[in-house]
């Protein structure tokens, strides 16, 4: 039960399950995608074979599927159109920052700046005139599908 966990315990549990899911997803990439430079699901994985870590949009997808955080921190506005709302953006930014030692003061504005980097690739899409509401692009939808199959 989420309410019985301290913030640090919840943060730790979410971090572990998020890292596990994202590592499984990215390790399933065909080697040909990495070598060809194809703009596929795994195009951002470094060529040196090191774990790239998770992206902030992958973190949000994991939170959407986690009953400990959905609907308390993040929720679907319309799951059919893959549109979601950040209900507690400062808490989400704090959870994200807790993954990086020494970065405990990440503001939501800085977290959102990171999310905006994914607009160009259409991984995440902003919903005009709606604050804290985003739509999943194709890459994010495929990632969600992968997580659901686990």
Q: At what angle do helices 108-116 and 89-97 cross, to 10 degrees?
A: 80
What is the model's pLDDT at position 101?
76
CATH classification code of 2-26+53-149: 1.10.10.10
pLDDT for residue 7 is more than 70: no
Highest mean pLDDT among 5-9, 25-29, 37-41, 101-105: 101-105
What is the model's pLDDT at position 52?
72
pTM of structure: 0.68
| Structure tokens that stand for 89 in this block | 């953006």
Angstrom distance (rounded) from CA 74 to CA 77: 9
Per-chain mean pLDDT for the chain: 77
What is the model's pLDDT at position 100?
75
Mean pLDDT in residue range 53-63: 95
Mean pLDDT in residue range 26-31: 35
pLDDT for residue 136 is more than 70: yes
| Domain segments of the chain as ranges | 2-26+53-149
- Residues contacting residue 48 through CB under 8 Å, at least 6 positions apart: none
What is the model's pLDDT at position 5?
55
């Amino acid at each position: 039960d989420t309410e019985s966990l301290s913030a640090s315990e919840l943060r730790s549990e979410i971090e572990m399950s998020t890292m596990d899911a994202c590592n499984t997803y990215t390790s399933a990439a065909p080697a040909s995608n990495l070598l060809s430079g194809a703009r596929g699901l795994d195009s951002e994985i470094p060529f040196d074979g090191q774990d790239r870590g998770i992206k902030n949009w992958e973190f949000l997808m994991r939170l959407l599927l986690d009953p400990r955080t959905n609907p308390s921190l993040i929720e679907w506005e319309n799951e059919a159109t893959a549109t979601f709302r950040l209900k507690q953006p400062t808490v989400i930014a704090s959870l994200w920052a807790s993954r990086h030692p020494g970065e405990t003061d990440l503001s939501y504005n800085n977290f959102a700046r990171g999310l905006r980097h994914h607009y160009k690739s259409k991984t995440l899409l902003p919903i005009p005139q709606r604050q804290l509401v985003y739509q999943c692009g194709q890459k994010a939808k495929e990632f969600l599908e992968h997580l659901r199959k686990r």
